[in-house]
Amino acid sequence: MDRTDWHATESSPLGGLSIIRRLILPSLDSARLVINPLVSTSQIGTSTVDLRLGTEWEASKSYRFQALDPGEDPDTATELMQGGFDDFRLTAGQRQGVVLHPGELLLALTLEFLQLPKDLWGKLDGRSTWARQGLQVHATAGMVDAGFRGYLTLELQNTGRIPLVLYPGMRVAQMAFFPIKNVPYAYAKKSGAAYSGQSRVRSRFIAQPEHTYRHIYVADELERQRLRAGEPEL
């Protein structure tokens, strides 16, 4: 069948049958959607696919931070980010899970490896069962660009009042897929695409141009002040 024919049949959001068809395409087909592992039929909804908690987690050592200041010298900020987090692993069948206390933020990778073709983008959200217990799975970063490849990082937060115990394999999130046309480049090519191909949960502090501008501005201003004070040029 001509691939363009059935792309035209995909409405927005992508319906369950179209998701299934995308999932079973051969591995070298550019329109193929990869979600692996898909453990059970219950993960496939009418317009969404459920995602599970994975095995890699990260928690911030908040005691190390006064504040996270993007205007800080990029090297210092990166160093602080790298040293300011604990990453740890869980696996299947462990005695203990992770306790997510009210108000706390934990990062966890999804169990699933995702690869979105260039003509699909995704919207991550929570599942209502867990939402009713106060579990949020992303903190305003729920969009997944066309062409993304890797494990997704869930930004788990407990907004309820009761601590929640979490284990790998739990279905806590869902993703809807939407077709998109005429994408000139995939996510990996986006300037500052920090998480394409990610497989570690670790937060990255990429020195974005806006942050660098501020840093240059501050350094410049200090130099001006020094010169005004009659000190020699550095």
87 binds other proteins (CB under 8 A): yes
27 binds other proteins (CB under 8 A): yes
Q: By CB under 8 A, what part of segment 56-85 binds other proteins?
A: 56, 78-79, 82-83
93 binds other proteins (CB under 8 A): yes
Could you tell me the two tokens for 86? 């604990």
Region from 106-114, 122-130, 186-194, 220-228 binding other proteins, contact rule CB under 8 A: 106-114
CB of 24 to other proteins, least distance (A): 4
Q: In terms of CB distance, is 27 or 140 closer to other proteins?
A: 27
CB of 226 to other proteins, least distance (A): 26
CB of 187 to other proteins, least distance (A): 14
Q: What mask, x for binding other proteins by CB under 8 A, covers residues 127 to 166?
A: ----------------------x-x---------------
CA of 101: how far to CAs of 29, 37, 59, 120, 222, in Å? 43, 29, 12, 35, 43
Could you tell me the two tokens for 173? 């999130």
Q: Encode the chain in three state secondary structure.
A: CCHHHHHHCCCCCCCHHHHHHHHCCCCCCCCCCEEECCCCHHHECCCEEEEEEEEEEEEECHHHCCCCCCCCCHHHHHHHHHHCEEEEECCCCCCCCEEECECCEEEEEEEEEEECCCCEEEEEEECHHHHCCCEECCCCCCEECCCCEEEEEEEEEECCCCCEEECCCCEEEEEEEEECCCCCCCHHHCCCCCCCCCCCCCCCCCCCHHHHHHHHHHHHHHHHHHHHCCCCCC
Catalytic residue among 79, 112, 155, 221: 155
Q: In terms of CB distance, is 40 or 208 closer to other proteins?
A: 40
Q: What mask, x for binding other proteins by CB under 8 A, covers residues 39 to 58?
A: xxx--x-------x-xxx--
- The reply to whether 56 belongs to the active site is no
Residues within the interface to other proteins (CB under 8 A): 1, 5-6, 9, 16-18, 20-21, 23-28, 34, 36-41, 44, 52, 54-56, 78-79, 82-83, 87-89, 91-95, 109, 111-113, 115, 149, 151, 168-169, 197, 199-200
User: Which residues are designated catalytic?
Assistant: 155
